[in-house]
Amino acid sequence: MSKENKTVTINIDDQILEVEKGLTILRAAEQNNIYIPALCSHKNLTPFGGCRMCIVEVEGMSGFPTACTTPVEEGMVIKTHTAQVQASRVEILQLILSEHTSSCLICEEKDECKEYMGTIRKAGVTTGCRYCPKDGQCELQDLVEKLGVKEINYPIYYRNLRVEKDDPFYDRDYNLCILCGRCIRVCQEIRIANTLAFKQRGPKTVVGPAYDRTHIDAGCEFCGACVSVCPTGALSEKVSKWEGKAEREELTTCPLCGVGCQIRLLIKKNEIIGSLPAEDPLVNNGQLCVKGRFCVAELVNNYQRLRKPYKTQNGTKVEIFLEEAVELSAEKLSACSPEQFGMLVSPNCSNEDLYIAQKFARVAVGSHNIDTTARTFYGTGFNAFLNLMRMAVPLSDVLKASIILCIGLDTRFGRSVVGVELRKAVERGAKIITINPRHHNLTMIAEKEFQPVPKMEVNLLNSLVMLTEKKKTPTSQFRSKRTTGSLSGELSTVAKMLKEASAPVFLVGSEFLQYDESPQILEAVEKLARNVSAGILPLPVQNNLFGSVLMGVYPEFLPGGFSSTGKERIDNLRKRWSADVPNFSSQWNAETLSSGSRMKVLYFIGEVPPNSRPPSDFLIFQNIYPPDISYEPDLVIPSAAFTEMDGTFINGEGRIQRVRKAVDPPGEALPDWEILCRIAQKMGIKGFDFSNAREIYEEISSLIKGFGDFDNTKRKANPMICEGELNIPETRPSRTKKADKKFPFLLSVSVGEHTYRGFPLSTWVEGLKKLFTEGIIDINPEDARKTGISRSDEVIVTSAYFEKIWSANILSEQTQGTLHVTLPQGESIGNNPHPVKIRKKDV
C-alpha cells in the first residue's frame, strides 16, 4: 500500500501535519502534542461526543464539530483555540458546573484553603473543605484551571441524589457525575459485566444498573475499571477515599491468582494506599480483577499483621526478638532427625523463598519432607492438572483462536482479566463454548453452553473425545446410552466446530477440581485437546504453582522439576550445592499431615493447613498473620508480604515475573528466605549466605534453564517442564453413588479458592465477605418450592455420612435435582458430588 493511502495531511493551528487516516481530530492533535480540552473522551473507549468540551473550528464545516468524534480528512484546516471556541467552552463548562458541587473549583479561598484553612466556620476547628475525594486529581478541576473559569453564571442546581454506599469497595455519589458515560463504556466495551447504563433521559438521566439494583445484584465484577476512568469524584474507592494523591508507584506482580497481572502499587510514605492495573501488553492490558484492584492495600495493611516473633510458654504468648526466634528454631531443627521433620510452604511465596525452603529442608535438615497445600487442593487430579500445565499456551493465543472452549470457568471475580480477553476475542468473531455444571458469567458471550449435571461431565467430555477421534471409532455404546437426542446433536455440532476450527484454545477454570472425577475430567480435556490440536491454558488458583514445581518444593520434585527418584539428579545437586543431599525416601506429605505419625518439628511457611494443629512436638508458624488459636504454635515468626520484598513469581503461562519491594515490612518481619537463611547459618550450615533475592535468583538460574537476568526477566510464556509424577494414591476411585429415593439431591462442593498465604482473603478484606460467600447452598426454585425452603432459610442437609446446616440461596440457574455449596478449604463432605436430602430447619 502506498503511503498516501495510509495518511492524510491536515493543518491544526497552522501546523502542517501528516497523520494516520481514520484518526479523530482529537487523537491526531494529541499525537502531535496539541492540547484540546476533553472530558468524555478516553483513549481506550469509543468516542461519545457528549461533553462538547473538545469543540473546534474546521474550515468549511458549519458550527463547531467535536474533535473526539470527527475523523480527519485530507486537507482539513482546524483551529483549536479561537476566541469563539474558547468562549463557548467556558460557557459549556459553566453549564456542567451548574449541576456539580463546585466549591472546590471556584471558591475564592481555594488556593489558601489547602494550606491555611483560614475560612471562618462554626466548627471550633479549622478543617477546610473536603467535599470530594478526587480533590487534586480531578479532570474537572484541571479544566477549570486551564480555561480560567472563575464564576458560574447559571443558577446552581443540586440534584440531591442519595450517595450509594451499599456495595463493597467503592462509593457512588452521582451528584458529582457529569454524565460523561466513560464508566458505562468501560463496563460495556471492555468488561463482560455490562452493569452500567444510562437510565431515564433528559434532566432525570442517571447512571446505574437496572431498577435500583445494587452492583452486587446487577452482576458487577468489582473490577474498578469504572472508578479508574471516572474524571470526577463520583466514583471513589472506599479504602483510599481520602488518601489523596500517591507519592510514588512501584510495578509488581499480583500474587492472588495464576494469571499474574502486572500492578502498580500506589505508595504514600511507607504505606500502600492502593493498586492499579499496569498497561502491560503481555498479561493484563490495563485491567485487573477485584482482588488485584481493591484488595491489596487492605490485605497488607491490616492492623492484625504480625510484627514481632513470639513463642508459647506454658500456654501464654511471650514476645521475643527475631534473634531469639532464630536461635530457638536452629536448636530444635539441629536436634531433629530428617524423617521427623516436615515443612509446608505456600505456593504464594516467591521462587526465591521456595528455592531456599527446599534447599533448607534438603541440606540443613537432610529431608525431602517439603510440600504445599496445593496437593490437598487439587487432590487426586493434581497429576492431571500438572499435565495440562505442561501443555500451557500463552493467554494471547485466546486472541488468535476462532473457538475457545471454557471448562469449569467463571471470570466474574477471579481471573476476570481472562474474561476481558474473551470478550475481545468474541468481538473479533471468535466463538465461546462453555462446559460448567454451575451458572457462570460467560453466558452473555457464549455461543453454546453445556450445563451437565454433576457426574455427567466426564461423559460429556468423553463423547466429545470420541466424536473428534481422528480414526473413526465405531459408535460407542455409552454415547447412545447416556446422551439424549438433542444433546447428542449439540455435541456433534460442537465436535465439528472444534475439528474445523483454526487454533482452538481450551481454558480450564476451577469448577471441577474438587470433584471425585476431576482426574478423569482433566484427562478427557487433555485427550480432546490432542484430538483437535487445541492449545490448553489451565488457570491455576495459586499464583506461583508453576514456581513451586520448578523450585522443587515437593518430596517428588527437585529444582528444575526433576524427579527426586533420579540418582543422577541428586548427585548433581550434591555437586552444585557442595552438600550432602539424602536419597529420596519420603513417605510424608501434606495429605498425611494429620493422619501420619507424630513429627518432631513441623515448619509452616505461609501455610495454614485446616483442622488445627497436626501432631507435632514443635510447630513453627511463619506468616504475615497470626494463626487461629487452635494451632497453639510453639513459635511464630513474622514474614514480609509480597509488597515488602523483591523476587519473582511464575504465572500459569510460565512467565517469570518480578515482584518489587515497595515498602518496608512491619516490625521485625522479613522475607521468608531471609529468615530461613539466618536459621541455617545459625545451625552452621553452608550455602545460605545470601544477602538479597538477586543472589538467590542467580543460583537458581545456574541450576535451571530459562532464568535470565533478574532485572530483566524475559517474561516469556513457557509450558511447564517437570519429569515424573506426584505420588498420589488412587484411594478415591470414582464410586460416587447416584441420587436415589432416600437421598434425592446431588450436592456438589467447591472449595473457597481465594486465599493468600493459607488464609481466605475475606478474613482480612472486609468487602470480600459479601462476594465470596461460603456455606450458602444453591437450590433450584422448583426444588425449593417442593421442600418449602425460601431464601436465607437455614437448611439441614443430610447424607448417609453427615448432617450440615447451611443457608439457602434460590437460584434459577441451578439445575433441578442438584445443589451446590462452597466450603472453606479443608472442610470436606467425603464423596463429591454427594447424594443428600434437604429440609428446612424448624424455628
Partner 1 sequence: MTNKDYIDIFSRFNGEEGDLIPLLQEIQEKFGYISEEAIKNISRFLKISENQIFGVASFYSQFKFIESGKYTIKVCMGTACHVRGSLNILDEFRRNLHVEADETTDDKLFTLETVNCVGACALGPIVIFSGDYHGQMKIKIVRELLEKYKSKNEKESETAV
Q: Looking up cell 538477586, which residue turns up?
A: 694
Sign, CA torsion 761/256/353/751? positive
Task: Give the SS3 label for residue 60.
Answer: coil
Q: Which of 100, 182, 431, 455 binds ligand SF4 (CB under 6 A)?
A: 182
* 253 DSSP β-pair partners: 262
Question: Phi/psi at 106 (nearest 5 deg)?
Answer: -125, 5
Greatest Cα pair distance, the chain, in angstroms, is: 90
Task: Give the SS3 label for residue 828.
Answer: coil
Question: Within positions 677 to 716, which residues make up the interface with ligand FES, using CB under 6 A?
Answer: none
Q: Which of 55, 138, 234, 356 binds ligand SF4 (CB under 6 A)?
A: 234
Question: Within positions 150 to 189, which residues make up the interface with partner 1, using CB under 8 A?
Answer: 188
* Span of 91-99, 231-239, 364-372, 507-515 interacting with ligand SF4 by CB under 6 A: 231-239
Q: What is the DSSP letter of 211?
A: T
Q: Which residue is nearest to ligand FES (CB)?
A: 68
Sign, CA torsion 607/612/616/622? positive
* Span of 65-73, 183-191, 424-432, 673-681 interacting with ligand SF4 by CB under 6 A: 183-191
Shortest CB 68 distance to ligand FES, Å: 3
Position 203 contacts partner 1 (CB under 8 A): no
Give the Cα separation of 406 and 422 in Å (integer).
10
Q: Which of 47, 181, 274, 666 binds ligand SF4 (CB under 6 A)?
A: 181
Question: Within positions 593 to 622, which residues make up the interface with partner 1, using CB under 8 A?
Answer: none
* Span of 32-40, 95-103, 365-373, 832-840 interacting with ligand FES by CB under 6 A: 32-40
427 versus 709: smaller Cβ distance to ligand SF4: 427
Give the Cα separation of 520 and 541 in Å (integer).
19
318 versus 444: smaller Cβ distance to ligand SF4: 444
3-state secondary structure 155-197: CCCCCCCCCECCCCCEEECHHHCCCCCHHHHHHHHHCCCCCCE
Question: Within positions 218 to 277, which residues make up the interface with partner 1, using CB under 8 A?
Answer: 218-219
Task: Give the SS3 label for residue 353.
Answer: helix
Position 230 contacts ligand SF4 (CB under 6 A): yes
Question: Within positions 241 to 280, which residues make up the interface with ligand SF4, using CB under 6 A?
Answer: 254, 256-257, 259-261
Q: What is the DSSP letter of 630?
A: G
Nearest to 245 by CA among 133, 117, 104: 133
101 versus 194: smaller Cβ distance to partner 1: 194
Position 445 contacts partner 1 (CB under 8 A): yes
Which of ligand FES, partner 1, ligand SF4, none interacts with 211 (beta carbon under 5 to 8 A by kind)? partner 1
Task: Read off the C-alpha cell for 619.
Answer: 510447630
Beta 248-253 vs 262-268: how paired, if at all?
A: antiparallel
Task: Give the SS3 label for residue 141.
Answer: helix
Q: Which of 17, 28, 66, 256 binds ligand FES (CB under 6 A)?
A: 66
Which of ligand FES, ligand SF4, partner 1, none interacts with 94 (beta carbon under 5 to 8 A by kind)? none
Which of ligand FES, ligand SF4, partner 1, none interacts with 52 (beta carbon under 5 to 8 A by kind)? ligand FES
Give the Cα separation of 720 and 834 in Å (integer).
34
Which of ligand FES, ligand SF4, partner 1, none interacts with 104 (beta carbon under 5 to 8 A by kind)? none
Length of the chain equals: 843
- Are 778 and 437 in contact by the 8 Å Cβ rule? The answer is no
Shortest CB 439 distance to partner 1, Å: 12
Which of ligand SF4, ligand FES, partner 1, none interacts with 444 (beta carbon under 5 to 8 A by kind)? partner 1
Nearest to 185 by CA among 57, 68, 18: 68
Which of ligand FES, ligand SF4, partner 1, none interacts with 182 (beta carbon under 5 to 8 A by kind)? ligand SF4
Shortest CB 397 distance to ligand SF4, Å: 17
Q: Which of 197, 282, 399, 776 binds partner 1 (CB under 8 A)?
A: 197
Question: Within positions 392 to 421, which residues make up the interface with ligand SF4, using CB under 6 A?
Answer: 415, 417
Q: What angle do CA 456, 460, 461 make, to 5 degrees?
A: 120
Task: Give the SS3 label for residue 403.
Answer: strand
Which of ligand SF4, partner 1, ligand FES, none interacts with 417 (beta carbon under 5 to 8 A by kind)? ligand SF4
Which CA distances in Å does 623 have to 94, 222, 307, 670, 757? 55, 28, 10, 10, 7
3-state secondary structure 420-472: HHHHHHHHCCCEEEEECCCCCCCHHHEEEEECCCCCCHHHHHHHHHHHCCCCC
Q: Which of 50, 209, 559, 767 binds ligand FES (CB under 6 A)?
A: 50
Q: What angle do CA 398, 399, 401 make, to 5 degrees?
A: 65
Q: Which of 54, 193, 406, 696 binds partner 1 (CB under 8 A)?
A: 193
Q: Which of 17, 19, 25, 52 binds ligand FES (CB under 6 A)?
A: 52
Q: What is the DSSP letter of 392?
A: B
* Span of 33-41, 452-460, 707-715, 722-730 interacting with ligand FES by CB under 6 A: 33-41
Shortest CB 101 distance to partner 1, Å: 25
Give the Cα separation of 626 and 615 in Å (integer).
19
Interacting residues toward ligand SF4 by CB under 6 A:
177-183, 186-187, 191, 193, 195-196, 207, 215, 220-226, 229-232, 234-235, 254, 256-257, 259-261, 284, 288-289, 291-292, 415, 417
Interface with partner 1 (CB under 8 A): 188, 193-201, 208-211, 213, 218-219, 443-445
| Interface residue list for ligand FES (CB under 6 A) | 38-41, 49-54, 66, 68
